[in-house]
Structure 1
């Protein structure tokens, strides 16, 4: 499904015929009206199809074989196969949507794909939550990083995150009166950081409800707040050059784009995506 691109070249020649396997190749390869040679972005598109195929056990984002080519040309995909127990895999959906963008220049680079939180281990996710919480602990509510973090935060915390954790953990957190704001993303991150730092000092029943660190511990929170990881990643990426955060992001952060959710940035990434769902 791919073709070798020499280091000195920026695009592929079409003289040797169409690139890739029908049903898996990018729209610019199929569209004879486009007068430019396709770039390595065609492989990102194909990889996005493959990612979805693997994650769903054999489904194709553009439907059945007899409809795939037409749907690719129309930009009509369906990622419903990423629904798990009635919950969407938010992180995987975000990555694949970027990779399937109709406009090749808006697809992420291979380096950006590999930096996406989809590929983070649970240990790295926990480190990220901790580092962000440490970074914002003394920030004021009107500061830019807090404003970005809390923008759209009600969906992340599900209006009141205290209502969605187990009673034993809620009781433990409530021992510190006024320490946590129930509708705040910053406060939720603080709770995650504090319980990680004081895990071994916590009562046995709290340790049991949270499970082992890092896997059970992280899954406890991300299963209850599925938007938390991606939301936080996108909210603080404007500060990606800072020492404590830079290893979570691609150095040239411009290629990692979000297509449909919150936190638009003042550049071309704010334009409405052209890809459509089936």
Structure 2
């Protein structure tokens, strides 16, 4: 940054497109872009701003820039800091003032409430909308442009355009980020730790650690009760009915598994992973390579498995094994 007596000049890297242009198909359609990676990079930028006590206040797809390197890797950068506000020293909020509040359709509801103190949560709200916009290929949780801001102020939203294997994890994250109550929204660091952004390897490690953690617990223990609570929709009644016949037969050979127990599904995943090399070749081909194919075999059949386990195991977030999976502010 440079300045003269009249202006300050902020130089940014030359970028190829905005996130808006990419999603709308106007630019960069020739690139294979990992959209979750782009979202995570954007959130890393927001996390950095918040760590400095800076609130952006105008986050939207047009203000996320995409840059390509010589290796064709695409990176995301946050831009347009004209409405940024530095939080007062030692304070986590400032008073909303008259004037420009941001861009209509991306402004958090508390910005329109009298005597509201503005926090970093306004950026989390906007980024929740941006994440939905990317993952739904151009949708907005609060509807079409003409009704959008009114719906935001009324708390009227829909996440039905989220589809695919990640729909449950994405729905959980976005739903929390756009909460009408700003105090219920996650921090930027909590967003970055969310299971939506985990690799298949990290998901595999998590499932294994959970299974190890509850292996010796009684069915009446708090952690098992938490895990099994609401699990029926995850395992679709009896998870054994939704796996391949060859795996089902293999599981029967060595021990008994209860099809109505989520704990037993995780145990089966862990045990077959441990003995993967010993499995018949045809079963290994069905399960896929560890970790990507193997994890996908189960999460594609039980798409709510990851986020349900993630939510219910948060009660263990301060235990040494699970600290790595949850934000320090959880």
Q: Pick from 121, 146, 152: which aligns with 1:66?
A: 146
Displacement after TM superposition at 1:17 (Å): 2.1
Q: Which gives a bigger RCO, structure 1 or 2 (Cα 8 Å, sep 6+)?
A: 1
Distance (whole Å) between structure 1 residues aligned to residue 329 and residue 163 of structure 2: 32
Trace 1:213-252 onto structure 2 (pairs within 5 A).
213-252=290-329
Cross-structure match for 1:148: 226
Distance (whole Å) between structure 2 residues aligned to residue 243 and residue 177 of structure 1: 30
Displacement after TM superposition at 1:13 (Å): 4.2
Cross-structure match for 2:192: 114
Aligned-residue CA RMSD (Å): 1.6
Distance (whole Å) between structure 2 residues aligned to residue 222 and residue 124 of structure 1: 13
Query: What's the CA shift string for 1:155-186, capped at 9, x where partnerless?
Result: 121111110001111111111242x1111011
The number of equivalent residue pairs is: 248
Cross-structure match for 1:28: 110
Query: Any unmatched runs of 5+ in structure 2?
Result: 1-57, 60-83
Displacement after TM superposition at 1:233 (Å): 1.2
- Is the radius of gyration larger for structure 1 or structure 2? 2
Segment drifting more, 135-144 vs 90-99: 135-144
Distance (whole Å) between structure 2 residues aligned to residue 98 and residue 158 of structure 1: 25
Trace 1:1-278 onto structure 2 (pairs within 5 A).
1-2=58-59, 3-6=84-87, 8=89, 9-15=91-97, 17-31=99-113, 34-84=114-164, 89-178=167-256, 180-253=257-330
8 Å contact kept, 1:5–1:40: no
Displacement after TM superposition at 1:201 (Å): 1.1
Distance (whole Å) between structure 1 residues aligned to residue 234 and residue 166 of structure 2: 13
8 Å contact kept, 1:18–1:29: no
Distance (whole Å) between structure 1 residues aligned to residue 124 and residue 159 of structure 2: 17
TM-score (norm 1): 0.85
The structure richer in strand per residue is 2
Displacement after TM superposition at 1:135 (Å): 1.0
1:208–1:42: structure 2 CA closer, same or farther, 3 Å change rule? Answer: same
8 Å contact kept, 1:150–1:185: yes
Displacement after TM superposition at 1:190 (Å): 0.4
1:102–1:166: structure 2 CA closer, same or farther, 3 Å change rule? Answer: same
Distance (whole Å) between structure 1 residues aligned to residue 228 and residue 105 of structure 2: 41
TM-score (norm 2): 0.72
